């Protein structure tokens, strides 16, 4: 490298160092709102890391969305995930899409990098959350590995869901991504393998880890701790210059949901199960009836922790850019392997057309519950003990209602335009109509009581940026 070139790189490195020094105090104040904005403004320069040379080993970058959404429905709040604390209620709200993110990347060697990313969402009171914190190592022969916290790979756009600037629309369709966004990260390891085959690139990603989040149970007016253990899966992408195809399947060995409301339900199952066992132990009962009561006791006790399951997430999607056209599509299946939570199939199709800085788009999405609903026949009265029967009826009614609240079926129609009006900034306007199959289906909405007005009209304006 000759001297002028070295000088240019030195000057560049100095510029980055200066920006870093400006932004570091903001970091130390833990994402305080004004400091984040100051840091973002400090980064908003031609020497920002997205546009930087890789000869610098330390990079600071940021992304964000300032958004306002109007919801015309007084009976439902709108969420992008079930882990979102504050929904976008009737009227105008910043809660749905507004987010600020900051990323630090250190590359001590060409083949080694450490990445830490935090995000603070308006819907979560701007509480900072760790989205990525991993060590990446290139292993040679097309292999690389990451260890630490990574963004979720469940669906095609799961990893980009809150990075509005990187997405065509304001957000991936809520009917499909409400459930996928809820599992926003995996703590664990992934191995990636990239290889050229003919004129395409194959990228295979295997992953293993665990995740967790706070699940807001609006109908119980409470929150629950959700944990996913033993998450493992494989995603295979076929990448050509203009089309990316991706197929993935992810299993979680165990999903658990724990809260005070669920503990109360569990206590009820123990009491009722104990009552049924006591009845079965009556020596005056015929043997067949005693055995039936014991079986019923087991079934009742089986309703403890009714939301626990072993989910399987499947996605088959594509992203095509052909001349000015952009077409995205995805088919998904979410199978909780639990009658309470259910099995769902869905799809989305999005079409955009690029006119210079403007890209208008339309999108449809649908997710429907499939398979059997929760079988509560084992909670039918015994006809032997009024107190036990009253308890069984109460539990039957409670679980029937809980099952109704667990139905996340919905569909959406969206129309909007993206305007890339400035380097690294885009304005988007989007209209969504989201509806559930009936007034008794809450879908992905934040609902405290049923029935609801099951049709929602949303109007969203966002400013997305990435520096």
Partner 1 sequence: MHYRYILTGLMLTANLAIADEQVVVITNRDVPVETLDNNQVTQIFLRQVQSWPDGKTIQPIDIKEGSALRTEFYSKVTGRSPGQLRAYWARQAFTGMGVPPRQAATEEEAERLVQTTPGAIGYVGKKEADESVKIVLEPDKTAP
**Site residues, partner 1 (CB under 8 A):** 1-2, 5, 8, 46, 49-55, 61, 63, 101, 103, 105, 115, 117, 132, 134, 136, 142, 146, 150-151, 159-160, 163, 165-168, 194, 196, 199, 201, 239-242, 321, 323, 354, 356-357, 359, 420, 423-424, 426, 466
Cβ 326 to partner 1 shortest distance, Å: 8
- The closest alpha carbon to 97, from 37, 159, 36, 163, belongs to 163
- In whole angstroms, give the CA distance from residue 354 to residue 360: 7
Residue 91 CB, shortest distance to partner 1, in Å, is: 31
In the bound state with partner 1, the residue whose beta carbon lies nearer, of 15 and 304, is 15
Strand ranges inside 49-184, DSSP E? 58-71, 91-93, 99-109, 112-121, 128-140, 143-151
- Least gap, CB of 25 to partner 1 (angstroms): 23
CA distance readout (Å), 97 to 124, 181, 411: 11, 13, 19
Q: Which is nearer to partner 1, 315 or 436 (CB)?
A: 315
> Nearer to partner 1 by C-beta: 141 or 377?
141
Min dist CB 238 to partner 1, Å, is 11
Measured in whole angstroms, the distance separating CA 390 from the mean position of its chain's CA atoms is 40
d(CA 467, CA 464): 10
Residue closer to partner 1 by CB (options 244, 367) is 244
Q: At what angle do helices 3-28 and 33-43 cross, to 10 degrees?
A: 170
Nearer to partner 1, 142 or 206 (CB): 142
For the CB of residue 322, give the shortest distance to partner 1 in the complex, in Å: 8
- Which is closer to partner 1, CB of 221 or CB of 356? 356
Helix (H, G, I), strand (E, B) or coil at 101: strand
Distance CA 292, CA 276 (A): 10
C-alpha to C-alpha distances, 93 to 98, 156, 351, nearest whole angstrom: 9, 27, 27
- CA-CA distance, 130 to 9, in Å (whole number)? 32
Q: Least distance in Å: CB of 44 to partner 1?
A: 13
Least Å distance between CB 254 and partner 1? 26
State the Cα–Cα distance between residues 174 and 181, nearest whole angstrom. 9
Between 166 and 331, CB nearer to partner 1: 166
């Amino acid at each position: 490298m000759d001297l002028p070139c070295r000088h240019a790189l030195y000057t560049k490195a100095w510029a980055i160092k200066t920006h870093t020094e400006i932004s570091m105090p903001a970091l130390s104040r833990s994402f305080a709102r004004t400091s984040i904005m100051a840091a973002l403004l400090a980064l908003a320069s031609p020497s920002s890391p997205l546009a930087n040379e890789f000869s610098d080993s330390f990079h600071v970058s940021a992304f964000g969305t300032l958004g306002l959404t109007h919801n015309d429905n007084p009976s439902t709040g709108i969420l992008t995930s079930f882990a979102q604390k504050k929904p976008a209620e009737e009227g105008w709200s910043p809660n749905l899409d507004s987010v600020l993110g900051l990323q630090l990347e250190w590359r001590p060697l060409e083949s080694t990098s450490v990445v830490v990313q935090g995000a603070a969402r308006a819907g979560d009171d701007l509480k900072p959350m760790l989205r990525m914190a991993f060590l990446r190592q290139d292993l040679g022969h097309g292999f690389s590995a990451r260890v630490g916290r990574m963004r979720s790979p469940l669906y095609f756009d799961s990893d980009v869901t809150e990075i509005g600037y990187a997405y065509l629309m304001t957000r991936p369709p809520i009917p499909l991504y409400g459930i996928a966004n809820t599992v926003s990260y995996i703590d664990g390891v992934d191995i990636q393998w990239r290889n050229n085959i003919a004129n395409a690139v194959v990228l295979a990603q295997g992953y293993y880890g665990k995740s967790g989040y706070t699940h807001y149970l609006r109908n119980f007016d409470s929150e629950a701790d959700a944990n996913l253990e033993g998450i493992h899966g494989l995603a295979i992408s076929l990448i050509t210059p203009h089309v990316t195809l991706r197929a993935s399947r992810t299993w979680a060995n165990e999903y658990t949901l724990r809260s005070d409301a669920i503990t109360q339900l569990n206590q009820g199952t123990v009491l009722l199960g104990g009552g049924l066992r006591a009845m079965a132990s009556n020596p005056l009962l015929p043997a067949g009836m005693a055995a039936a009561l014991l079986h019923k006791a087991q079934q009742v006790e089986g309703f403890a922790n009714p939301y626990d399951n072993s989910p399987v997430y499947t996605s088959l999607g594509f992203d095509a850019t052909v001349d000015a056209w952009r077409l995205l599509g995805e088919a998904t299946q979410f199978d909780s392997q639990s009658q309470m939570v259910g099995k769902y199939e869905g799809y989305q199709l999005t079409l955009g057309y690029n006119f210079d800085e403007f890209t208008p788009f339309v999108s449809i999405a649908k997710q429907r519950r499939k398979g059997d609903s929760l079988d509560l026949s084992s909670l039918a009265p015994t006809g032997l003990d009024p107190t036990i029967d009253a308890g069984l009826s109460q539990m039957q009614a409670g679980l029937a209602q809980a099952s109704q609240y667990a139905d996340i079926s919905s569909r959406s129609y969206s129309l909007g335009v993206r305007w890339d009006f400035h380097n690294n900034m885009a304005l988007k306007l989007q209209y969504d109509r989201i509806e559930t199959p009936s007034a008794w289906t809450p879908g992905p909405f934040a609902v405290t009581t049923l029935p609801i007005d099951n049709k929602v009209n949303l109007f969203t304006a966002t400013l997305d940026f990435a520096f």
